[in-house]
Chain A
Amino acid sequence: GNSVTQMEGPVTLSEEAFLTINCTYTATGYPSLFWYVQYPGEGLQLLLKATKADDKGSNKGFEATYRKETTSFHLEKGSVQVSDSAVYFCALNAGTDSWGKLQFGAGTQVVVTP
């Protein structure tokens, strides 16, 4: 079946450090890939997405590239801020037969200290 694996947290960084969160997936066909972010006490919101191989999603200084050859969608940001402290979820949607079902990774908590 389909699955998403992402690195365990918490990841603790100093402000302005480089952030990478690894995400790999298993899926048949051509899934769409997403990064969602959950700030403390809030619901999830889309950070970025990519819907086909080699697409790069980007938003708020975050980037991730859909790599079909390595089945990966790693999230990166060049210089984090305290306000980036949150839980980050990698997710996939397997396509038209999945009725929109999102399959999530376990989430990675990121803590950015001043």
Chain B
Amino acid sequence: DTAVSQTPKYLVTQMGNDKSIKCEQNLGHDTMYWYKQDSKKFLKIMFSYNNKELIINETVPNRFSPKSPDKAHLNLHINSLELGDSAVYFCASSPYRGRGTDTQYFGPGTRLTVL
């Protein structure tokens, strides 16, 4: 059984469109994250939710809006897509809120290409 799953795996779209990426975890974890990996493989956190509460909101354009309907799901909606949004987006989860020793479990990633 997949622990952290993301859909879609690939997303190709035109500039200006709006798109969503979905993430689900079946690990019973309280905390979920979105990371962005750029073309040079550099990873940076974007958002984190704990039990549907936003706890990390890095400096990200407000075209990006996360939503967590319940603690097992975290979606990422992106408005007015730009070329620079092309990247691989990873969802992750961890057991507890803010505990620095916890392992984070990553999904397989969604490769977004904006044309």
A: residues with CB less than 8 A from B are 31-32, 34, 36, 38, 42-46, 49, 51, 87, 89, 93-104, 106-107, 109
Contacts and interface: CB of A to CB of B under 8 A. Distances in A.
B106 A100 contact: no
Nearest to A97: B98
Contact of B42 (A34, A44, A93, A106): A106
A93 B108 contact: no
Nearest to B98: A99
Given A44-B90, A49-B103, A100 B97 contact: yes
A93 B41 contact: no
B100 A106 contact: no
Interface string B13-44: 00000000000000000010101000011111
B90 A100 contact: no
A99 B42 contact: no
20 contacts: A36-B106, A43-B4, A43-B107, A43-B109, A44-B90, A44-B92, A46-B104, A49-B103, A87-B41, A93-B102, A98-B100, A99-B56, A100-B56, A100-B97, A101-B45, A101-B56, A102-B43, A102-B45, A104-B43, A106-B41
Interface residues of B, number: 30
B100 A95 contact: yes
Contacts of A107: 41-43
Interface of B: 4, 31, 33, 35, 40-45, 48, 50, 55-56, 90, 92, 94, 97-109
B42 A43 contact: no
Given A43-B108, A93-B100, A100 B41 contact: no
Given A43-B109, A45-B106, 8 more contacts: A31-B100, A97-B98, A100-B31, A101-B48, A102-B35, A102-B45, A102-B104, A107-B41
A107 B37 CA distance: 11
Nearest to A44: B106
B41 A32 contact: no
Nearest to B55: A99
A80 B52 CA distance: 42
